[in-house]
Amino acid sequence: MAAGKNEGGKISEAGPLVFVITRADEMGGAQVYLLELAATFKENGEEVIVLAGGEGVLFDRLKARGIACRSVKNLVHPVKVFKDAAAFFEIRAILKACGPSLVSTHSNKAGLLGRLAAKSLGLPAVHTSHGFLFGGREKSPAGYFYRVMEKLGSAAASKVIAVAESEAALAGKFKVIPEEKLAVIHNGLPDLEQTLIADPLAEPPQLVMVARFAVPKDHRTLLTALGDLKEYPWQLALVGEGPGLQEAKKLARQLEINERVDFLGTREDVPNILAEAQVFVLSTLREGFPLSVLEAMRAGLPVVAANVGGVPEAVIDARTGLLFAPGDHLGLRDQLKFLLKNPEKRKEMGQAGRKLFMEQFTLEEMSTKTAALYRSLAKSAGEGEKA
């Protein structure tokens, strides 16, 4: 059965399924999620349209898979009150013109504006939160602001999907989303060809981290930890770009490990890079449910990751990988040291991680659950119109 197969009728019978996301010029976790989900629905005969601010790599990949795209010219990443207001009316006009069966929103600004626009037109809207911004900022003015915005957005949504149990618990703790509106559906990815499954036993071990050089990612803690492990054979590959890249390169030089750290920039062949690695690392201060961890588990790699957000729902400590406290370079050092010294444990954890991925975190699992939710809401909305 194809992932998300239309059992019980099409979602887009009365109009297209419209996805809305803030940025088309990058491929972060939210963009990868949207791409795979939209492509799955398209392959199963749904009519799909994606709205996003600007142009770029996301639109290129969507068009390559036959998915219609519309640029929202006023939808930009920074907060700009007048542009944000213009983006709301622009999104609303597009939705009114195409008459969608359901609106699926992603990322924070598009999530709020898209939900409000859908609500103003009486359309069902589902927001997928890829990580609530108030997490880790509970006592700050920014955290309070983000909670207020999420309450406003949830009032305009038919449902809010949290991608991890920890995210749902966070929303419940601060009472920002009514329990009846909240659903948990973990992220999922398509499987790989067998040629892209890694060999964790290989020596010397290659470590890899895939993340932007920007907050909340924490390359400093990883580099500092490896600065204490110079006596062991290892090489580190860092995939990504961002404003903190030059600072990370400077730190690697200061720690005298720069010859063992490869800064690879943005890459289109991440599965190939993971296939050559022996350990995946995610040093971060805050997460929802990172796709990078699932990519590593899919490749059969042991994962060493910060114990934040939904990470421990995939990285089962001492089973599929090892956890450490965020920002604790000594804890990370010790976990890496253990895996550097124990190739059999690398293999054992990598195999357990891949098994868990296949059982719980495939694209088919995610899209089937998401399609069922979308379908029930679109059907209810259609019945409401007939009544």
Rg, Å, the chain Cα set: 21
Determine contact, residues 350/300, Cβ cutoff 8 Å: yes
Cα–Cα distance measured from residue 58 to residue 230, given in angstroms and rounded to the nearest whole number = 39
- CA nearest to 100, candidates 79, 115, 87, 113: 115
The CA distance from 115 to 109, in Å, is 10
Residues 6 or more apart in contact with residue 218 via CB below 8 angstroms: 283, 284, 285, 306, 326, 327
Nearest to residue 15, comparing CAs of 131, 121, 152?
121
CATH 3.40.50.2000 domain span(s) along the chain? 17-190+362-386, 194-360
CA dist 238 and 215 (Å) reads 15
Taking only the tens place, the pLDDT of each residue in 142-167 is 889 999 999 999 999 999 999 999 99
Per-chain mean pLDDT for the chain = 94
- Residue 133 reports pLDDT greater than 90: no
108 token code pair: 């924070």
**Per-residue pLDDT at 1 exceeds 60:** no
CATH class of 17-190+362-386: alpha beta
pLDDT tens for 182-198 read 999 999 999 999 999 99
| 20: nearest Cα among 78, 96, 103, 79 | 103
Quick one: how far is CA 171 from the chain centroid?
18
**Whole-prediction pTM value?**
0.90
Q: Please state, in angstroms and rounded to a whole number, the distance separating the CA atoms of residues 136 and 35.
A: 28
Rounded Cα distance, 387 and 381, in Å? 10
Give per-residue pLDDT as tens, 303-319: 999 999 999 999 999 99
Any idea what DSSP says for residue 191? P
Tokens standing for 100? 């969608």
Bond preceding residue 204 cis, omega within 30 of 0:
yes
Q: pLDDT at residue 8 above 80?
A: no
What are the angstrom distances between the C-alpha of 267 and each of 26, 263, 280, 296, 312?
Answer: 12, 11, 16, 15, 27
Q: Is the pLDDT of residue 382 over 90?
A: no
Residues 339-368: what's their mean pLDDT? 98
Residue 59 · residue 68 · CB < 8 Å: no
CA 344 vs CA 32, 175, 281: distances in Å: 32, 45, 18
Report how far residue 315's alpha carbon sits from residue 302's, in angstroms, rounded to the nearest whole number. 9
Domain 194-360 has CATH 3.30.910.20: no
Q: Which residues of 279-307 are buried (b: 16+ CB within 10 A; e: fewer)?
A: bbbbbbebbbbbbbbbbbbbbbbbbbbbb
State the number of CA atoms in the 13 A half-sphere of 307 facing the CB.
13
